[in-house]
Amino acid sequence: MNPLLDFTGLPRFGKTTSHSTKLSKDDSQVAGYAEIKPEHVAPAIEQLLAENRALITKLLSDSTPPTWKSFVTPMEDANERLSRAWGPVGHLNAVMNSPELREVYNATLPKITQYYAELGQNLALFVKFKALRNSPEFAGLSAARKKIIENELRDFRLGGAELPDVQKARYLEIQERLSELSSRFSDNLLDATNDYTLLIESKDELSGLPDDVLQAAQEAAQEADKKGWLFTLKAPSYMPVMQYADNRALREKMYRSSGTRASEFGKAEWDNTALMDEIIKLRGEEARLLGFANFGELSLASKMANSPQQVVEFMRELSRRARPFAEKDLAELREFARDELGVDDLQSWDVGYASEKLREQRYAFSDQEVKQYFPEDAVLPGMFKLVETLYGLQIKKSVAPVWHDDVRFFDIRNQQNQLVGQFYLDLYARNSKRGGAWMDDVITRRRKVSGIQTPVAYLNCNFSPPVGEKPAVFTHDEVITLFHEFGHGLHHLLTEVEDLGVSGINGVEWDAVELPSQFMENFCWEWDVVRGMSRQVDSGERLPRPLFDKMLAAKNFQSGLQTLRQIEFALFDMLMHSSFEAGGGKTILQLLDEVRAEVAVLIPPAFHRFPHSFSHIFSGGYAAGYYSYKWAEVLSADAYSLFEENGVLNPDVGARFRSEILAMGGSRDAMQSFAAFRGREPSIDALLRHNGLLETS
């Protein structure tokens, strides 16, 4: 039996099988990753696609009026079976990348893309959904099922179902080409990142770097059969160099190498320049085919924001509020670099280093000092305890098939010891793993004949692994990243919706999906939480209150600069997808220069190629949606203010957040869920206050 078919978790057509929520191979709840081989992928996916198409034909040939049970449920089953087979393939391609897997993934991806594009364009299916919407049954359906049907009708229109046949064919070509280009963009960036190593043979060149960073670099050199210290462009290696290395030439070399990845400055086959132009051009063509003026309008058709102009105005207003703080941040940094470090011409590769030195002087602590208080075996239990306190849950280590020895698996149970959800935790960076941090769904909660299907999530980070006998230690920023991704995970796992299309993060507007993740970040600044998840890695002492107070005082250090940086990315993204024409006389880099001239105070050197590694919008689903980080931050800051008013560890407020935000999934509009929790619509004031961007603060 092909393992990709064996682990789809649903019966084959024509058979009935009962399923329980126990985790075992027999129940097909999660994939046996070690059993999945590249040669399994194409046969399994082709078989599932053939079966799904046969089912669609059968459903469309049925002349009886469609009902939820006879029409929607079989389609949900079939599409879930396909996603449960394809999901582990995409996941392994991201976390255990190999030439063989990449080849079969990229060869199969167009077939998946074509299938979903065909569904979205199927006018007969659209007619069936409209008939169900207009049927007597619709009035008696649950709110979740009504929302699914309304979403489907919207998505058929956005998928080109009403287009003439010639335009449908072109739309399908665009979708297939875009999926290919996005995958290549990601591959190029991974290859360019992995290709670069820098061997330093003299320790004198590495002054300022922390001991654990040096030890990790030395071990990396030894693994490569070299003597000295080996550095890479992966975050756990790259970031400490930029933050701590006294050697300015070393910082510049690493910065230049990182900033020119996947561009014309490297290998031609890894250059993303032409890919980006084609992606933007095709997205614009797709939007115009569907009757939109630009891709920004198309993207926002299923989001909270109403128009590209509204987003641009929101970002520009936030820029106006943040700019005085950013200008002050930069002036202070330049003065400090000149007077204390002897750097008269502050460059981009000096900013991280000078900022760390300034923070150390101003607040009398360093990130490296704080890092020693956050070993993994204290942080994880502390984070779990917070969730247990807020939501009345228990998180226990469990067992499941994994793809790497570093991966762990956990159960979430309620107070009655019933299984609520499960998640994988894959925390460390490695060559086969793409950069960044992300949550993805493995299995989504839904009600089946046999009962409730338990949701499962992947939580992925790229932290430094343990060095020697000590546990891994995290910077406070990494702790915040972990909380952020766990917030996404809880959104997926704590849903109480029983219909697949709006369960968990399904159906949630993209610009609201960051609300639960950013909300979780706030607890990383609460003494009662932080103290409980700290332990000095050598002495075992808790984080001292005076050091925490210094961290708190430094919380909004350079907040103005950081806010403008996010605005720069968001404005660039939205303008590129709304008022920019690829190949129209202005390049993507020139557009970015214009955005920086408008909103940035700190401008990178001319050689820097930021767009070439901007995975969020070219291969990560955030196209014309990067603004959602700031948009959702308004929601999350305002939501958290209710905890601040009633006690941040208040289980009653926690229960309310769980029931009105997390449990609802996409079964109602995000603004309705927010208002149900907060009692009103959101205000920007809490965000400005949290970020120290109020004039009175």
Number of domains in the chain: 3
- Residue 457 in any domain: the answer is yes
Three-state SS for 332?
helix
Q: Are residues 433 and 521 in the same domain?
A: yes
Averaged pLDDT for residues 217-244: 96
Q: Are residues 103 and 28 in the same domain?
A: yes
CATH number at residue 101: 1.10.1370.40
Averaged pLDDT for residues 423-442: 95
Spell out a b/e string for 401-418, using b for 16 or more CB atoms within 10 Å of the CB, else e: bbbeeebbbbbbbeeeee
Q: Are residues 134 and 220 in the same domain?
A: no
Q: Are residues 151 and 235 in the same domain?
A: no
- Residue 361 in any domain: the answer is no
Give the pairing of strands 446-448 and 451-453.
antiparallel
pLDDT in tens, 108-156: 999 999 999 999 999 999 999 999 999 999 999 999 999 999 999 999 9
Q: Are residues 223 and 107 in the same domain?
A: no
Q: Which domain covers residue 210, as residue numbers?
A: 198-261
Q: Which of 162, 186, 218 corresponds to the end of one domain?
A: 162
Q: Are residues 239 and 100 in the same domain?
A: no
At residue 570, does pLDDT exceed 80? Answer: yes
Instruction: State residue 8's pLDDT score.
Output: 63
Q: Are residues 19 and 112 in the same domain?
A: yes
Q: How far apart are CA 99 and CA 105, in angstroms?
A: 10
Give 328's contacts (C-beta < 8 A, 6+ positions apart).
560
What is residue 245's DSSP assignment?
-
Residues 457/441, Cβ–Cβ less than 8 Å: yes
Q: Which of 516, 531, 554 corresponds to the end of one domain?
A: 554
The set of catalytic residues is 485
Instruction: State residue 2's pLDDT score.
Output: 83
- Residue 100 in any domain: the answer is yes
pLDDT in tens, 326-383: 999 999 999 999 999 999 999 999 999 999 999 999 999 999 999 999 999 999 999 9
What is residue 428's DSSP assignment?
E
- Residue 19 in any domain: the answer is yes
At residue 242, does pLDDT exceed 80? Answer: yes
Q: Which of 162, 181, 213 corresponds to the end of one domain?
A: 162
Q: Are residues 394 and 503 in the same domain?
A: yes
- Residue 673 in any domain: the answer is no
Instruction: State residue 694's pLDDT score.
Output: 83
What residues form DSSP beta bridges with 386?
A: none
Exposure of 345 by Cβ count < 10 A (0-12 exposed, 13-18 middle, 19+ buried)?
A: exposed
- Residue 591 in any domain: the answer is no
Q: How far apart are CA 135 and CA 122, in angstroms?
A: 20
pLDDT in tens, 510-524: 999 999 999 999 999
Q: Are residues 407 and 505 in the same domain?
A: yes
At residue 238, does pLDDT exceed 50? Answer: yes
Across the chain, mean pLDDT equals: 94
Q: Are residues 151 and 219 in the same domain?
A: no
pLDDT band at 10 (very low <50, low <70, confident <90, very high): very low
What is residue 681's DSSP assignment?
-
Instruction: State residue 25's pLDDT score.
Output: 32
Q: Are residues 124 and 212 in the same domain?
A: no
* Single-letter amino acid code for the residue at 361: Q
Q: How far apart are CA 253 and CA 293, in angstroms?
A: 43
Q: What is the pTM of this model?
A: 0.89
Share of the chain above pLDDT 70, in %: 96
pLDDT in tens, 268-312: 999 999 999 999 999 999 999 999 999 999 999 999 999 999 999
Averaged pLDDT for residues 627-639: 95
CA atoms within 13 A on the CB side of 70: 13
- Residue 613 in any domain: the answer is no
Q: Tell whether the torsion through CA atoms of 90, 92, 97 and 100 is positive or negative.
A: negative
| Element containing residue 659 per DSSP (H, E) | none
Instruction: Pick the closest to residue 150 from 133, 136, 134 (CA basis).
Output: 133
Q: Are residues 13 and 156 in the same domain?
A: yes
- Residue 300 in any domain: the answer is no
